[in-house]
Chains A and B, each alone.
Chain A
Amino acid sequence: MKKGLRTKDYILIGIFSILIYVVNAIVGFALTPVMATSAMPLISGVCLFFSATVYLVMAMKVGKRGVLLLMAIVTGLIYTIMGVPLMLAFFAVAGLIGEAVLLAGDGSQYRRISRQALAYAAYGALFGLGAYVTVYVYGSDYLEAMYAADMRERMLYFAYSPFWIAGSMVFSFVLTLLGSLLAAKLLRKHFLKSGLLQ
């Protein structure tokens, strides 16, 4: 009975995936006017800093394999509906890599904050590249249809600069871990004390 996800887990993951998506979207939207032209690849790191809390609450509550992957698939499907079907495959891969980080262990690692934080950070390092993967696969024609000229130049510049891409991945990774520190504090303060999570 204990192994594998059950219906109540699926419901919880559904709800929290949307919560994570919304947190990411709102933070990203708020930062776009400030950072889009100067440091666009860094936006996703800040998004992940905040959404790490939501992810960790979900992961701690369920405490089983497959949470990160399922969340990644739901996120990918949201992007599919918004018109970028490629993201489904991309996020599924990112989710699998995150699950791989969690694989080693006797099962108790799914309830350990440090391991879950590491997994989300591994997922997060790829998450930030989503926009650029679209650029690589579809080429600049896609951008031409999607964005205004000045924006397009910035995106191409960021997408083909190894410095920015590596920087974005490291930045996402580190900020997700930092966000997990905040999350651990919040978890102890609100959720563990009240007995909502054990």
Chain B
Amino acid sequence: MKILIEADPRTQLMIVLLTSVAVFIADFSVIPWIILVVALYLFAQGIYKQTAQYLLAALALYLLQIWVSISSLEIMTIFRFLTFLGLRFIPVLMSALALARVPSGKLIASLRKIGLPMGLLVTLAVSFRFMPVMKLEYEAIQISARLRGVSVVSPKNWLRPLSTFEYTIVPLMMRSLKISDELAASATTKGIDHPGRKTSIYQISLGWRDAVLTIAYIGLLVAVLVKGGGGAL
């Protein structure tokens, strides 16, 4: 996969924040356009498959939204609430995709340049990396839970929410404790507690690509917002 524009993690973070602000002030009718802008940004960075998946998901939500709004059933208002929320989150989640692909060493080295305290940085880097890991762990736990008949998925267990919660959360927390121990050991051997100046294998610098990317992104967002009638603009 060829990366057309390799952006600095700081730029990518900036773009996540810009997107979230844009989604916040935008009219609902503008959201599809914002999704398109984010998709362009992702394509420029060579992320094709996941972008396509998100675009399909957005399309599905949009169709559901239309179907819900023409249907007259009372219960549909709840779905409408969920599709509203879903469509608002998709652009921001998409813009975070690029950031999620940055190796954590590079992420930390780059964010350290902003001057965030190391403790907060480590916490953040770990927490955002942990989501996919937790999904895998959860799936593994559910496999054995299903064998024992205590899975969250089977409706008969919903009648005993407390025990079902216990059977799910306790193994998950056990694993999390273990993973955090392993991560801490691994980070310590790599010298995370070294008090002096840290170096990184990654070259971190803001180049003209970052400037072009940010300006183009802001330009596109503003164009979309002005044309579509953003609420606050």
Contacts and interface: CB of A to CB of B under 8 A. Distances in A.
Contacts of A133: none
B78 A33 contact: yes
B20 A11 contact: no
Given A11-B187, A57-B173, A80 B20 contact: yes
B183 A5 contact: no
How would you classify the secondary structure of chain B's contact residues: helix, strand, loop or mixed? Answer: helix
B83 to A, nearest CB: 9
Contacts of A33: 78
A100 interface: no
Contact of A16 (B25, B176, B184, B187): B176
B88 A7 contact: no
B183 A83 contact: no
A14 B127 contact: yes
A65 interface: no
Interface of A: 5-8, 10-19, 22-23, 32-33, 36-37, 50, 53-54, 57, 61, 70, 73-74, 77, 80-85, 141-142, 144-148, 150-151, 182, 186, 190-191, 196
5 contacts: A6-B193, A14-B125, A32-B82, A37-B78, A196-B177
Interface of B: 16-17, 20-21, 23-28, 77-78, 80-82, 84-85, 88-89, 92, 96, 119-120, 122-128, 130-131, 134, 162, 165-166, 169-170, 172-174, 176-177, 179-181, 183-184, 187-188, 192-193, 231-232
